[in-house]
Chain A
């Protein structure tokens, strides 16, 4: 057995618990606003994860959850963070431009 195979042999029993730990660790996601639109929301969102909203547009926007979970007011070029506290679908929009909309799909 060469050293690579031995390393695999010893590492294998821990790989599942390692995956579980990695999954439990909150992740940071980015969601950019540009050209009067929210980019498509990131996939694989989980409770505890953080979203960093980046306003790359030339206009002031908000990232506002319809369920009241967050309401960020973002001047052009600014960014802001929200933490996902509960599972489910969260519809969001811009209060200044209500036709700008999106939905986050958060899993537990």
Chain B
């Protein structure tokens, strides 16, 4: 499968497979569900970054992966601290489960690749993943968040992830 097709397929998959269950299951996700989805998305990208750091020798790819690991860990630390302060217990839900399942499949697929093929697939996946998460944040998670502090943290996350998406797109263009 070509990386472009794969990236597009993932973006569609995250929406159609992952986001649809929440919309089907309830009218709107609750704050504990939203917190769990956002945390899961961050943890998935930290794991993807660790995989890249273990496989890639390219300085540009490694620097990007280090930024992803650091930024997503920072957001998740802030999310955990906020949840604790607000007394919110993140609640597992079909969307976060589907995200994890999707991420496991992606990690297995990327594990089979090496060198330039891995780098290209990793960046293509980062673009698709951030596009999907950013759409979910702006269209589903932020509008449905009830607690203003949770909403504010999600908005901060969206600014950060949009910067990640642009960065990944720039790396992808440079390597085309």
Residues of A within 8 A of B (CB): 35-37, 58-60, 76, 95-100
The size of the chain B interface, using a CB distance under 8 A, is 16
Do residues A99 and B160 form an inter-chain contact, with CB atoms below 8 A? no
Taken together as a complex, chains A and B put the C-alpha atoms of A76 and B170 apart, in Å, by: 25
Do residues B74 and A98 form an inter-chain contact, with CB atoms below 8 A? no
List B contacts of A96 (CB < 8 A): 67, 70-71
Q: Binding site of A, secondary structure by majority: helix, strand, loop or mixed?
A: loop
Query: In this complex, what residue of B is CB-closest to A95?
Result: B63
Residues of B within 8 A of A (CB): 63, 67, 70-71, 74-75, 78, 156, 159-160, 162-164, 166-167, 170
Do residues B74 and A58 form an inter-chain contact, with CB atoms below 8 A? yes
Do residues B67 and A98 form an inter-chain contact, with CB atoms below 8 A? no
Do residues A97 and B163 form an inter-chain contact, with CB atoms below 8 A? yes
List A contacts of B160 (CB < 8 A): 36, 59, 97
A108 → B minimal CB distance (Å): 34
Do residues A36 and B159 form an inter-chain contact, with CB atoms below 8 A? yes
Do residues B156 and A58 form an inter-chain contact, with CB atoms below 8 A? yes
